[in-house]
C-alpha cells in the first residue's frame, strides 16, 4: 500500500511512547508526532508517579483491568531494565470509625479486580508502621509503589527508536482527513506546513485528544468524548521528624467522582508532597494558587496531626483530561478503533487520566491487539 507510514501516533506522553514501543514491534512503519520539542512535556511529567494497585475502579472496566495488569508489567519492566522505582506500599487511612466500612468495601472491590494482597490493619498496627499518622484503622496495599516517570518514558522512546520509529518533535497536528488508503495528516512544524499519509492513526493527544477526534470529523458532544480539565495542585512538605512517613498515605475517598482526596506522596528522592487537589478549570494554567495552602493544610492535618502550617509550600500542578463532568461519577477510558464511525484504523485514546501512567504498558498491549485486526 502506498502510504508514507503504516501507523502514526499523535502525542509523545507516556501513553504515545508506550504504544510506540509496543506497536513498532509489529514490523510496521511507525511515526510519532509531538508538538513540543521533546517527549513528556505535559501531564506525564505532572503527576504523582504512583504505581497504583487497582483498588478503586469498578470491576470489569478498562481502568481496573489495565491497572492491575499494567502494575505487574511495569514492575517487570523496572526489574528487567533497571528503571528507578520503589514498592513503598500505601495506607488508606480511616480517620473516623464510620469510615472503616468504606475500607472494607474498598478491600472487597480491590479483590474483585484481582488485587490479592490487601490487608485491613488496626490502629495499633498502623501506629507501628506510621507513628506520625493518626487514624482508627487502615487498608494496607503493599504492591503500590512509585516510579521515575521520566526514566520510564525515556525507556519507551529508546525501545521505539530501536524498532526504527520516526519521532517528529515540534510538529503539531493541525488537520486530519480520510483518504481511500488511510488518512492525510497536516502538520505545522517550525513555521512550515506539510502533510503525509498514514494507514492508521492512534490518538494519544492527552488533554487535546477530543480536539484530535474532532479534526477527524467526529462530533465529540454526540459521542460524549468531550474532555473536561480538572486541575490538581501539589504542596511540598518540608520534612520534619514529626511529619515523616514511610508509605504513601491516602484518606478514604469522599465521593465516587474518581478523586482520591489530598494524599501524601513520596518521590524517589524522599521528597514529600500533598496533593493533588481537584478543581474544574477551563484553561491550561499550571500555577499553584498559594491561597489554597489553608485547604491543603486542613486536609492533611486530619491524618498528620503534628503538621505545622509553615511546613507546606506551593509546588506544582497537573491537569487531568476527564471525560466525566463534575459530579457525573465514574467514566472509563475510551480506547477504540472507530470503524463503526466510518473511520477504520482511527484509534482514539480519550480520557486517559489516572491511573494512566500505571496502565501504560497494558494500554500499549491492548492497542497492539486492536491494530492486529487492522493490518
Ligand atoms: C495531577 C495528576 C496526578 C496523577 N497521578 C498519577 C499517578 O500517580 N499514577 C498514575 O498511574 N497516573 C497518574 N496520573 C495520570 C497520568 O499522568 C496520565 O494518565 C498520563 O500521563 C497520560 O499520558 P498521555 O500520554 O495520555 O498524556 P500527555 O502526557 O498529556 O501527552 C499527550 C501529548 O500529546 C501532545 N499533543 C497534544 N495535541 C497535539 C497535537 N495537535 N499535535 C501533536 N502533539 C499533540 C501533547 O503535547 C502531549 O505531549 C495523574 C494525572 C494527573 C493530572
d(CA 102, CA 104): 5
Pocket test of ligand 1: the residue of 11, 172, 331 to mutate, having most ligand atoms within 8 Å of its CB, is 11
Q: Dihedral of CA 145/148/152/155: which sign? A: negative
Asked if pLDDT for residue 264 goes beyond 90, the answer is: yes
Q: What is the pLDDT of residues 113-158, one digit of tens each?
A: 999 999 999 999 999 999 999 999 999 999 999 999 999 999 999 9
- pLDDT per position as a tens digit, 203-224: 999 999 999 999 999 999 999 9
Lowest mean pLDDT among 38-42, 302-306, 352-356: 302-306
Q: CA neighbours within 13 Å on the CB side: how many for 340?
A: 2
CA of residue 366 to ligand 1 center, whole Å? 18
Residue-level pLDDT at 306: 95
User: What is the distance in angstroms between the CA of the first residue and the CA of the last residue of the chain?
Assistant: 11
Residue 2 confidence (pLDDT): 60
Confidence band, pLDDT 50/70/90 cuts, at residue 256: low
Please name the residue whose Cα sits nearest to atom 14 of ligand 1.
354
Residue 1 pLDDT > 60, yes or no?
no
Mean pLDDT over each residue of the chain, to the nearest integer = 95
CA of residue 318 to ligand 1 center, whole Å: 9
> Is the confidence at residue 317, as pLDDT, over 90?
yes
Question: Which atom of ligand 1 is closest in space to residue 11's alpha carbon?
Answer: 34
Q: Is the pLDDT of residue 53 over 60?
A: yes
pLDDT for 24: 96
pLDDT on residue 255: 66
Distance 228 CA to ligand 1 centre (A): 14
Give the pLDDT score at 13. 98
Q: Which of 77-81, 94-98, 254-258, 355-359 has the lowest mean pLDDT?
A: 254-258
Identify the residues whose C-beta falls under 6 Å from ligand 1. Answer: 10-16, 33-36, 41-44, 46-50, 52, 172-173, 204-208, 232, 276, 318-320, 352-358
Distance 350 CA to ligand 1 centre (A): 11
Q: In sequence order, what DSSP letters do the residues of 31-93 get, joined into one string? A: EEE-SSSSS--SGGGSS--EE--S-SSPTTSHHHHHHHHHHHHHHHHHHHHT--EE---EEEE
pLDDT digits (tens, 9 = 90+) for 169-200: 999 999 999 999 999 999 999 889 999 999 99
Whole-number Å distance, alpha carbon 43 to ligand 1 midpoint, is 4
Which whole number is the average pLDDT over 150-167?
Answer: 98
Amino acid at each position: 500500500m502506498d502510504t508514507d507510514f503504516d501507523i502514526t501516533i499523535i502525542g509523545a506522553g507516556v501513553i504515545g511512547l508506550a504504544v510506540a514501543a509496543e506497536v513498532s514491534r509489529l514490523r510496521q512503519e511507525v511515526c510519532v508526532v509531538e508538538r513540543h520539542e521533546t517527549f513528556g512535556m505535559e501531564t506525564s511529567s505532572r503527576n504523582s508517579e504512583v504505581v497504583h494497585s487497582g483498588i478503586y475502579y469498578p470491576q470489569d472496566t478498562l481502568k481496573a483491568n489495565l491497572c492491575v495488569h499494567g502494575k505487574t508489567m511495569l514492575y517487570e519492566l523496572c526489574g528487567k531494565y533497571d528503571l528507578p522505582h520503589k514498592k513503598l506500599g500505601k495506607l488508606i487511612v480511616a480517620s473516623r470509625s464510620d469510615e472503616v466500612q468504606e475500607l472494607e468495601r474498598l478491600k472487597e472491590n480491590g479483590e474483585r479486580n484481582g488485587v490479592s494482597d490487601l490487608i485491613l490493619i488496626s490502629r495499633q498496627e498502623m501506629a507501628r508502621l506510621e507513628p506520625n499518622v493518626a487514624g482508627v484503622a487502615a487498608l494496607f496495599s503493599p504492591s503500590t509503589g512509585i516510579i521515575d516517570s521520566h526514566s520510564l518514558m525515556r525507556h519507551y522512546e529508546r525501545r521505539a527508536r530501536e524498532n526504527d520509529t520516526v519521532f517528529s518533535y515540534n510538529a503539531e497536528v493541525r488537520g486530519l482527513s480520510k483518504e481511500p488508503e488511510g488518512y492525510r495528516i497536516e502538520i505545522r512544524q517550525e513555521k512550515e506546513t506539510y502533510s503525509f499519509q498514514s494507514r492508521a492513526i492512534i490518538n494519544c493527544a492527552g488533554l487535546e485528544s477530543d480536539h484530535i477526534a474532532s479534526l477527524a470529523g467526529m462530533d465529540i458532544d454526540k459521542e460524549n468524548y468531550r474532555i473536561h480539565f480538572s486541575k490538581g495542585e501539589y504542596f511540598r512538605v518540608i520534612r520534619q521528624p514529626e511529619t515523616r512517613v514511610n508509605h504513601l498515605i491516602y484518606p478514604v475517598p469522599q465521593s465516587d467522582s474518581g478523586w482520591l482526596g489530598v494524599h501524601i506522596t513520596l518521590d524517589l528522592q524522599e521528597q514529600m508532597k500533598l496533593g493533588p487537589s481537584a478543581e474544574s478549570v477551563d484553561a491550561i494554567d499550571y500555577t499553584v494558587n498559594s491561597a489554597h495552602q489553608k485547604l491543603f493544610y486542613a486536609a492533611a492535618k486530619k491524618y498528620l496531626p503534628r503538621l505545622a502550617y509553615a511546613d507546606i509550600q506551593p509546588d506544582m500542578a497537573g491537569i487531568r483530561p476527564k471525560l466525566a463532568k463534575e459530579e457525573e461519577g465514574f467514566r472509563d477510558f475510551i480506547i477504540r478503533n472507530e470503524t463503526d464511525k466510518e473511520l477504520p484504523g482511527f484509534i482514539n485514546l480519550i480520557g486517559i487520566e489516572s491511573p494512566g501512567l500505571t496502565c501504560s504498558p497494558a494500554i500499549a498491549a491492548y492497542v497492539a491487539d486492536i491494530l492486529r485486526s487492522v493490518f
